[in-house]
Amino acid sequence: MPRDRQSRPFRIAAYAVFIGFSTLYVLLVARGIIVSLMHQGALPPARVSNECRRAPESCAQGLVDLRDSLDRESCQLERTGTRAESLWDDWLQTWQRDLFALRSECCLAAGRAPPERARLARAAADLERLGQLYTTHLVQYAREIGPQAERCASDLAVIAPEQVPAPTSAPSRP
């Protein structure tokens, strides 16, 4: 049976809408993958400067500040139980952007740092690796230790507070 000529504009419009939404969907999925890879460090952000805009002392202090914030956030999130992983992922993206910006401003790119900044570049690489190790730790904590700690806390909540000794295994870092 031949197609009706009167429905042709409708069919063209329906195909155009379908192709438009399909194209938009594919572009958004591709953008999501690229952004995810950038945040996980698999792809570097686009802007990289070869200009050292900060003094070595300022760069060293920036690395110390990033290390302190990494330790502080890790310790704080260990107390959140099963939510640690998602909260860490959200916070880590900002921290990684700050680290990349510092590396860019201080010329601390791996293998391309000036000789007088080689130790700073190594410290920045070590700090990035430490962030990855903290991620592994917090994922494991959220999936294994956190649920057990929450279950233990709810079980202990049933007991009268005067009968429960103070916990001794709580994280005591900053």
pLDDT block averages, 10 residues each, the chain of length 174: 81 94 94 77 52 85 94 86 81 89 85 83 92 87 79 78 55 52
State the Cα–Cα distance between residues 160 and 103, nearest whole angstrom: 53
State the Cα–Cα distance between residues 7 and 17, nearest whole angstrom: 15
- The two tokens of residue 71 are 């330790």
* Extents of the domains making up the chain: 10-37, 53-159
pTM over 0.85: no
Report helix angle 8-39 to 84-105, nearest 10.
Answer: 70
Q: What is the pLDDT of residue 17?
A: 96
Architecture of domain 53-159: Up-down Bundle (1.20)
State the Cα–Cα distance between residues 130 and 116, nearest whole angstrom: 23
Q: How many whole angstroms from its chain centre is CA 153?
A: 29
Angle among Cα 116, 114, 48 to the nearest 5 degrees reads 135
